[in-house]
């Protein structure tokens, strides 16, 4: 006599389990194969999205075939009998459903892409990180300091998201303090001479960096951010006096950075150069 589980023979049940395992393996292989095929042809973010959608579709279709054709169950009756259980599970997994729905909206709206440099608002702050993975439940960031941060999609939709990659350029303020009475025109001249020596800061870019700027200017999403066609002259550094006290003058060097992950190194190089030139001119920063 055949052993049955809920009207399904044990042999059929194990056959269904084997089919489910095969479905998940096939979906994973489909994902990997599509990524390998498309990664060099289209953007990696689009490739990953298409491959993941095909993977999910394969799982859904495979499970439908397994339930209907292998187990021989009526899905309508099955869903009706499981209605109360499904309702309870829905309440218990409300956060999971929120993250999944948020993930779908993120896929549709595309506020962030793979490899974008972003910063997520709210506490605790994540700092600037690069998007390494986007799923239906969460995104994965790798911070500039190497930390891996997992953020639920529902938080992404309910928080401020700063996308430095989509912005193209970011202005950075570098504060300095000088004694009152110093010739500020001379100070500005020294600062601008130091800026000109940095090949990653306009207007004196090296050839490779200048080509990167021009490519950025031609991107449609960058053109939308400007009233007129952007050019390098819009990103020339400035030196501003931001405050004066009885003994000090506060100055900011405003520079534009194309790649936010290089910000600290560019600031470090600039400060070293400014300090060296000040020393050679016999000038000092305020203590």
d(CA 148, CA 215): 30
What per-residue confidence (pLDDT) applies to 165?
Answer: 87
d(CA 103, CA 153): 6
Which residues partner with 163 through β-bridges?
118
The CA dihedral of 12, 13, 16, 22, to the nearest 10 degrees, is: -110
For strands 117-120 and 170-179, give the pairing.
unpaired
What per-residue confidence (pLDDT) applies to 224?
Answer: 78
What per-residue confidence (pLDDT) applies to 78?
Answer: 56
What per-residue confidence (pLDDT) applies to 227?
Answer: 74
The closest of 159, 93, 158, 106 to 134, measured between CA atoms, is: 106
- Residue 72, Cβ density class (10 Å: 0-12 exposed, 13-18 middle, ≥19 buried): exposed
What per-residue confidence (pLDDT) applies to 3?
Answer: 53
What per-residue confidence (pLDDT) applies to 82?
Answer: 54
Long-range contact pairs involving 29-32 (C-beta distance under 8 Å, separation at least 24): 30/54, 30/55, 30/58, 31/55
CB 244 within 8 A of CB 180: yes
Q: How many residues can be counted in the chain?
A: 287
d(CA 76, CA 144): 51
The closest of 279, 275, 162, 253 to 201, measured between CA atoms, is: 253
d(CA 65, CA 60): 9
What per-residue confidence (pLDDT) applies to 175?
Answer: 92
Residues of the chain with pLDDT under 70: 1-8, 44-45, 73-97, 122-124, 287
Which residues partner with 180 through β-bridges?
none
What per-residue confidence (pLDDT) applies to 252?
Answer: 92
d(CA 226, CA 212): 18
Torsion angles phi and psi, residue 149, rounded to 5: -120, 125
For strands 148-152 and 161-163, give the pairing.
unpaired
Q: Which domains does the chain have, with CATH numbers?
A: 4-92 (no CATH), 111-166 (2.30.30.60), 168-280 (3.30.70.100)
What per-residue confidence (pLDDT) applies to 1?
Answer: 45
The tokens describing 187, both together, are 């100070």
Cα torsion angle, 202, 208, 214, 215, sign: negative
């Amino acid at each position: 006599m055949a052993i049955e589980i809920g009207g399904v023979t044990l042999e059929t049940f194990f056959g269904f389990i084997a089919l489910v395992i095969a479905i998940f393996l096939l979906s994973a292989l489909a994902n990997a194969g599509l990524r390998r095929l498309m990664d060099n042809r289209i953007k990696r973010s689009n490739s990953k999205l298409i491959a993941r959608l095909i993977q999910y579709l394969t799982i859904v279709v495979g499970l439908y075939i397994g339930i209907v054709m292998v187990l021989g169950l009526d899905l309508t009756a099955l869903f009706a009998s499981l209605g109360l259980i499904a309702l309870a599970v829905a309440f218990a997994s409300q956060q999971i459903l929120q993250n999944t729905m948020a993930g779908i909206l993120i896929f549709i709206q595309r506020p962030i892409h793979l490899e974008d440099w972003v910063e997520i608002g709210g506490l605790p702050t994540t700092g600037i990180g690069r998007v390494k993975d986007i799923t239906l439940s969460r995104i994965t960031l790798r911070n500039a300091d190497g930390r891996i941060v997992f953020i639920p999609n529902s938080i992404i939709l309910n928080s401020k998201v700063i996308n430095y990659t989509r912005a193209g350029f970011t202005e950075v303020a570098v504060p300095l303090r000088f004694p009152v009475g110093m010739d500020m025109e001379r100070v500005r001249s020294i600062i601008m001479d130091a800026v000109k020596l940095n090949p990653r800061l306009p207007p004196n870019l090296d050839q490779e960096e200048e080509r990167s700027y021009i490519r950025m200017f031609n991107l449609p999403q960058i053109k939308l951010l400007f009233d007129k066609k952007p050019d390098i002259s819009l990103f020339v550094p400035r030196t501003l006096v931001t405050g004066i006290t009885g003994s000090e003058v506060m100055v900011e060097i405003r520079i534009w950075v194309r790649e936010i992950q290089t910000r600290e190194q560019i600031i470090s190089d600039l400060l070293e150069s400014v300090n060296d030139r000040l020393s050679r001119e016999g000038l000092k920063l305020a203590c």
